[in-house]
Amino acid sequence: RLSDITSGQPAKIFLMIGTNDLAFGKTVDYIIANYRKIITRIRQESPRTKIYIQSVLPTDDAIHTNRKNTDIILINEGLKKLAREYSLPYIDLFSAFKTENNKLNREYSLDGLHLNGKGYLLWKDVIARYVSE
């Protein structure tokens, strides 16, 4: 599927992966290694594409017990390191969407995982400056 995207040589790609991997039992290390592979492939297949790494969003892990926010925080720390290593922008969405207890703010989601309209508008607002660069 990635080749379908890179074959179009997009100007920008905004990456956000990991939530479903957690649900399928993948480890934090596996997810970070997968990001590394994806970044490498994008750079090989579409070298002019600017890559943006977006943090993984929090969840309500009381409802979605296979997606722990403690793991998401660790993933996001790993993504920050990857962004520095590859000199890529890191977009911290987690902070914009979390409650004081590091859960997904219910204001932005109906089910504790998927964003609602207000959540998508917040996401748009956070990434707008990167989109228009």
String of DSSP letters for 26-93: --HHHHHHHHHHHHHHHHHH-TTPEEEEEPPPP--TTT-TTS-HHHHHHHHHHHHHHHHHTT--EE--
CATH number at residue 26: 3.40.50.1110
Q: How far is residue 107 from each of residues 18, 30, 54, 67, 99, measured CA to CA in Å?
A: 22, 31, 20, 19, 10
How does pLDDT run along the chain (133 residues), one tens digit per residue?
A: 899 999 999 999 999 999 999 999 999 999 999 999 999 999 999 999 999 999 999 999 888 888 999 999 999 999 999 999 999 999 999 999 999 999 999 999 999 999 999 999 999 999 999 999 9
Residues facing 54 on adjacent strands: 91
Number of domains in the chain: 1
The pTM score is 0.93
Residues spanned by the domain of 61: 2-131
For tokens 């793991």, the residue is 71
